[in-house]
């Protein structure tokens, strides 16, 4: 049966958080991995969140063992903040190693946009 779609992206502002933050998320079907789609979609949401919504920070998380998502977060200039807790073991090998947190502030976003030499991470 053919897949109907490739996955999705999410920018979810924290309703009760008056600091102007939102969580970035993405999930793609394996057939669409390693094609730049996660990075491209996530970068578009960063632009929307900072430029259109005026967010102060966008954050994301992934399982520590999820090298693909960690690479996407680095590629779109999110900064690694740390690893938290041990997760619960599940069907994914290494899922008990916890979660990693990444974030990008509006100030850093503005610097990336203003100074082309800082666009090393390929956001724009």
- The pLDDT tens digits of the residues spanning 15-44 come to 666 678 888 888 777 776 777 777 888 888
Q: Where are the beta strands (DSSP E) in 42-98?
A: 57-63, 79-84
3 or 27: whose pLDDT is higher?
27
Confidence of residue 45 (pLDDT cuts 50, 70, 90): confident
pLDDT digits (tens, 9 = 90+) for 51-96: 998 999 999 988 787 888 888 888 888 999 988 876 565 555 555 6
Given this model, what pLDDT does residue 111 score? 85
Which distant-in-sequence residues (6+ apart) come within 8 Å of 90 by Cβ? 96
Tokens coding 36: 């730049």
Given this model, what pLDDT does residue 106 score? 92
Average pLDDT over residues 84-111: 76
Confidence of residue 124 (pLDDT cuts 50, 70, 90): very low
Given this model, what pLDDT does residue 2 score? 44
Cβ burial, residue 123 (10 Å; 0-12/13-18/19+): buried
CA trace torsion 102, 107, 108, 110 (10° rounding): 130
Partners of 80 in the β-ladder: 102
Given this model, what pLDDT does residue 79 score? 92
Given this model, what pLDDT does residue 112 score? 83
């Amino acid at each position: 049966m053919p897949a109907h779609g490739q996955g999705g992206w999410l920018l979810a502002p924290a309703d009760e958080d008056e600091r102007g933050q939102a969580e970035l998320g993405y999930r793609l079907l394996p057939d669409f991995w390693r094609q730049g789609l996660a990075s491209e979609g996530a970068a578009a949401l960063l632009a929307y969140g900072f430029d259109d919504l005026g967010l102060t920070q966008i954050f994301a998380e992934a399982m520590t063992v999820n090298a693909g998502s960690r690479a996407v977060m680095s590629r779109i200039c999110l900064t690694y903040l740390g690893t938290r807790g041990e997760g619960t073991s599940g069907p994914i090998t290494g899922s008990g190693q916890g979660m990693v947190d990444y974030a990008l502030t509006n100030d850093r976003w503005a610097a990336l946009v203003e100074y082309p030499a800082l666009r090393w991470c390929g956001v724009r």
